[in-house]
Structure 1
Amino acid sequence: MSKKHKSEHHEEHADESWLIPYADLLTLLLALFIVLFAMSTTDSKKFEEMSKAFNIAFNSGSGVLDNTTIVTTGEQMSKERENNRQPSKEDLTKEQLQAAMKQEQEDLEKLKKQIDNYIKTAGLTTQLETKLNQSQLMITISDNALFPSGSAQIKPEARSLALTIATMLNKYPGYEIVVSGHTDNEPISTAEFESNWDLSSSRAIRFMDILLSSKKLDPKLFSAIGYGEYRPVDSNANALGRSKNRRVEVSIIRKFTDPDKSQNIPATPK
């Protein structure tokens, strides 16, 4: 009788075997979210490490929290991003900033000289000009050198000009490039363009497209802007002034500028 009573008392304990698959499910869900987070980064090597951690969670009895590789990987990713970050102007000492500005001035003067030599050799002195100031190196190209009247289709002979400029820019990476289109104040309304805004924007984009056909240039550093008729460089009262206002400008933006100085940075004596 006592044995039977003891057996019945033992059977009253709840069956807790369900906790094992439940814990495994939670572990796998945690591993899944960590892998999805890793997939959102562009570091393929780190993603492979996260995938290995995921496989470990599937194929072994150890939980994800027991695997310190995942935590270490996250720390390493943060450290590497910090180490690979390019120094900004704020990170530089005054001496380093002055040295960087001087080197940039020399590079931009060299690029300007190369473009000026090309303009002279190609006989384009009436259609192109360059100007270097405290904020940028600007290449100004008249619209009739690039486009037929009222069109944004690049002339075949103008493609070589754009590709030559792109080749020169390849030697000076890291600069932000802004391509801007400008028109005169003569209104335009065609099936293709409703306004000068449309025309100037399309011209800037089409010229930028050819520049970026050079795969060595970084598209994320490029932007195209259409200003329409609202930033003239001459009077729109006569034909000569209007022709100067119809233009495309390619601006190479300085990375280092000194707000305390209004004059040009002195170049190294030649």
Structure 2
Amino acid sequence: MSKKTRHEEHEEHADESWLLPYSDLMTLLVALFLVMYAMSATDAKKFEEMAQAFSSVLNGGTGVLTERAATPSESNLDQGKSDKMNNVISKNTGEAEMAKLRQKEQEDLEKLKKQFDQYIKNNGLTDLLSTKLNQSQLMITISDNALFASGQAVVKDESRQLAKSISTMLQQFPDYDVVVQGHTDNIPISNTSYSSNWDLSVDRALHFMKILLLNPNLDPKKFSPIGYGEYHPIADNSTPVGRAKNRRVEVSIIRKYQEFKQFTGIPPSDN
């Protein structure tokens, strides 16, 4: 009887195929925790570098890491850039509008100056009146001889028409503030009406302003009288010619949109 061949029993080998998905799972979990940590950090540059590295290792190209949401620091930065850009646009718009207003104002004041100059020429008043336009105002300078008797502040009857003519031209631009200034020379005044050149200069400015405001089309809120006495001369008080130049009334139309605000002695307008 032949013997049957007896096969030796071999030890069963454990199935290790589960290790592959397990290792993949561990790798993905590590990557997930690293990504979560990076997203909570404030260094956007490091996050970007790590995202590129993981994407390259895991799938050989770009992946979900490169399509991440902006970090808080980036969001704040983007918002800051947006606000800054809006401020720049707003500032540029404001400057453009202001430039237009200044240009319109310049045209208005040049037009008004031409009207005054033409009036002065037509009435032969070149020795008594003059105009000057600068960065702060349009100024009409009137010699005291054209308005007052010596040492007096009441406007002469024959000079009241001059004040009325000026008021008529001013009514074309009613929104401007107007300052009426009185000036004297440095010779002390000696009469019963005034105790000083201060008093005389203030009273002259006030009297002339009141005649201007007889025009109902002018707003009294826009007008202010100022007396400077002898303390703002435009010529040398040591000569008769110089003193005659210093005795004057100035009507100043103040710019509203001057680039560099200057003190004019006038209170702010209500509107």
TM-score range, shorter chain: 0.5 to 0.7
RMSD, aligned α-carbons: 1.4
Trace 1:13-24 onto structure 2 (pairs within 5 A).
none
Alignment-mate amino acid for residue 137 of structure 2: Q
Aligned to 1:146: 147
Structure 1: gaps spanning 5 or more residues: 1-89, 261-270
Separation in structure 2 between the aligned mates of residue 185 and residue 167 of structure 1, nearest angstrom: 33
Query: CA offsets per residue over residues 82-115 of structure 1, 9 Å max, x none?
Result: xxxxxxxx9x811110000000000000000000
Separation in structure 1 between the aligned mates of residue 176 and residue 120 of structure 2, nearest angstrom: 22
Q: Is 1:194 equivalent to 2:189 in the alignment?
A: no
Alignment-mate amino acid for residue 206 of structure 1: H
Aligned to 2:135: 134
Alignment-mate amino acid for residue 171 of structure 1: Q
| Seq. identity, % | 60
Structure 2: gaps spanning 5 or more residues: 1-90, 262-271
Trace 1:1-270 onto structure 2 (pairs within 5 A).
93-259=94-260
Give, in angstroms, the shift of residue 189 of structure 1: 2.7
Alignment-mate amino acid for residue 102 of structure 1: Q
Separation in structure 2 between the aligned mates of residue 204 and residue 185 of structure 1, nearest angstrom: 17
Give, in angstroms, the shift of residue 246 of structure 1: 0.1
Give, in angstroms, the shift of residue 259 of structure 1: 2.9
Give, in angstroms, the shift of residue 191 of structure 1: 1.3
Alignment-mate amino acid for residue 177 of structure 1: V
Give, in angstroms, the shift of residue 217 of structure 1: 0.4
Give, in angstroms, the shift of residue 158 of structure 1: 0.8
Give, in angstroms, the shift of residue 173 of structure 1: 1.1
Separation in structure 2 between the aligned mates of residue 167 and residue 196 of structure 1, nearest angstrom: 30
SS at match of 1:116: helix
Separation in structure 1 between the aligned mates of residue 259 and residue 192 of structure 2, nearest angstrom: 47
SS at match of 2:174: coil
Question: Taking structure 1 as the reference length, what is the TM-score of the superposition?
Answer: 0.62
Give, in angstroms, the shift of residue 174 of structure 1: 0.6
Question: Taking structure 2 as the reference length, what is the TM-score of the superposition?
Answer: 0.62
Alignment-mate amino acid for residue 104 of structure 1: E
Give, in angstroms, the shift of residue 153 of structure 1: 1.1
Separation in structure 2 between the aligned mates of residue 130 and residue 240 of structure 1, nearest angstrom: 19
Give, in angstroms, the shift of residue 226 of structure 1: 0.4
Separation in structure 2 between the aligned mates of residue 228 and residue 259 of structure 1, nearest angstrom: 27
Alignment-mate amino acid for residue 95 of structure 1: A
Separation in structure 2 between the aligned mates of residue 125 and residue 207 of structure 1, nearest angstrom: 20
Separation in structure 2 between the aligned mates of residue 221 and residue 138 of structure 1, nearest angstrom: 15
Give, in angstroms, the shift of residue 157 of structure 1: 1.2
Alignment-mate amino acid for residue 180 of structure 1: Q
Separation in structure 1 between the aligned mates of residue 190 and residue 126 of structure 2, nearest angstrom: 32
Alignment-mate amino acid for residue 242 of structure 1: R
Give, in angstroms, the shift of residue 151 of structure 1: 0.4
Give, in angstroms, the shift of residue 182 of structure 1: 0.2
Give, in angstroms, the shift of residue 147 of structure 1: 0.2
Separation in structure 1 between the aligned mates of residue 114 and residue 153 of structure 2, nearest angstrom: 29
SS at match of 1:157: helix
Alignment-mate amino acid for residue 124 of structure 2: G
- Count of aligned positions: 170
SS at match of 2:250: strand
Which stretch of the first structure deviates more once superposed, 150-159 or 110-119? 150-159
